[in-house]
Amino acid sequence: MIFGVLVLFSAAIAPATAGDTTVETSTFLSVTLPKQYETVWSDLVPPRVEVAGRAGASNGIREIVVESSAGRVSCGNATEFACTVPVAEGNETITVTLIDNLGKTSEAVLHVYVNVDVPPPPWIYVIGTVRDTDGRPVSGATVTVKSGLPLAWGPHRVTTGTAGDGGYLIENAFGYAQNISVEKEGYLPLHRDVSFENITNRLDLELEPEPPQARTAPGFSAGMGILALAGGLLAVRAARGRER
């Protein structure tokens, strides 16, 4: 009996055989697109949403599956994945599942709102410097950007001024297409139509000085010039009359 107990005890403390070895597995799943609770836009019928991210598994990736209320697609088995999944309009739940080669799974669940329409243009930023034709910074110039989109409430306009170094910053301009205007006393006004490509953009601008003849002497307007000319003519006629 004592021998039997020793056998059982030794079996309990004996190291596990190769067939009984526990294999540790680990997986990693990160969805970068869309963002959690994001409003997404799709002008496709039926609507679709792009899903992208990164994944990893110590035992290798068998498949990455993306599923919504409207359908299910395979995103392959690469560590960086991207695919589109059909979705329903309105509130939608998207589930991304990573399956490794041993059948272990990891999930990421996203809640989004789907708008079925053409996505609106973004809000953009424009930074730059205004200089004259000699390369000197122009301070105190007025920089205005006006959206080139046909909006029901009229063009969206943003105005700012240049600093001492000629620098300016336009925030929250609406859309990529913009009409740029720069005005400063003593310089010809500048107008340009620009189509930007990024959310944050750089645009340096150059102002030309006004021609000397286009400048008006301080305190001497065109109306005053006409009156002075008329007065001069009258004075000449009076002088001629006295000569006679």
The answer to whether residue 242 is domain-embedded is no
Residues 84 and 34 in one domain: yes
Are 111 and 127 part of one and the same domain? no
Percent of the chain exceeding pLDDT 90 equals: 69
pLDDT for residue 74 is more than 50: yes
pLDDT for the residue numbered 4? 47
Q: Token digits for 35?
A: 């963002």
Decide if pLDDT at 244 tops 80: no
Does residue 32 carry a pLDDT above 90? yes
Same domain (yes/no): 129, 166: yes
Q: What is the CATH number of the domain that holds 29?
A: 2.60.40.10
The answer to whether 60 and 89 are in contact (CB under 8 A) is: no
Among the candidates 94, 116, 138, a domain finishes at: 116
Predicted confidence (pLDDT) per residue in 211-222, tens digit: 987 555 555 555
Number of H helices, E strands in the chain: 2, 16
Q: Identify the CATH number of the domain in which residue 153 sits.
A: 2.60.40.1120
54-68: pLDDT as tens digits: 999 999 999 999 999
- Same domain for 67 and 99: yes
Domain contains 224 = no
Mean pLDDT of the chain: 85
Q: Is the pTM of this model over 0.85?
A: no
Domain housing 203: 123-210
The total of structural domains in the chain comes to 2
